[in-house]
């Protein structure tokens, strides 16, 4: 469910993605909740580790994406979408 909080978190997450992928405007498509990290954004696992650090730095230690991803199998990580991260961050910061 999209709430005002998840809308704010989405905007922040997309902005922070810019630290990994460069200017999000140059991706060639709009990043949505359904955008995948692997297929759409072409991010590898090392990029997700870097992004995990960026999220923790921005949102605090309550947001530990590395631990969250460690609970998932490889297929779940490959299919990870921006909305999954937004929901995780919103739940941890709400």
pLDDT for the residue 3: 65
The predicted-structure confidence for 18-62, as pLDDT tens digits, reads as follows: 888 877 666 678 899 999 999 999 888 889 989 999 999 999 999
Any idea which architecture 4-93 has in CATH? Orthogonal Bundle (1.10)
pLDDT for the residue 81: 96
Residue whose structure tokens are 């995780």: 88
Q: Could you state, in order of their start, the residue ranges of all structural domains in the chain?
A: 4-93
pTM, 2 dp: 0.87
Give the DSSP per-residue string, 36-86: BTTTTT---HHHHHHHHHHHHHHH-TT--HHHHHHTS-HHHHHT-BHHHHH
Mean pLDDT of 63-92: 93
């Amino acid at each position: 469910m999209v709430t005002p909080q998840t809308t704010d978190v989405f905007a922040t997450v997309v902005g922070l993605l810019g630290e990994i992928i460069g200017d999000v405007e140059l991706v060639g498509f709009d990043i949505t909740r359904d955008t995948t990290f692997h297929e759409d954004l072409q991010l590898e696992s090392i990029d997700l580790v870097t992004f995990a650090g960026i999220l923790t730095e921005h949102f605090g230690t309550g947001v530990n994406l590395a631990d969250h991803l460690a609970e998932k199998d490889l297929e779940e990580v490959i299919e990870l979408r921006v909305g999954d991260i937004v929901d995780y961050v919103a739940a941890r910061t709400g």
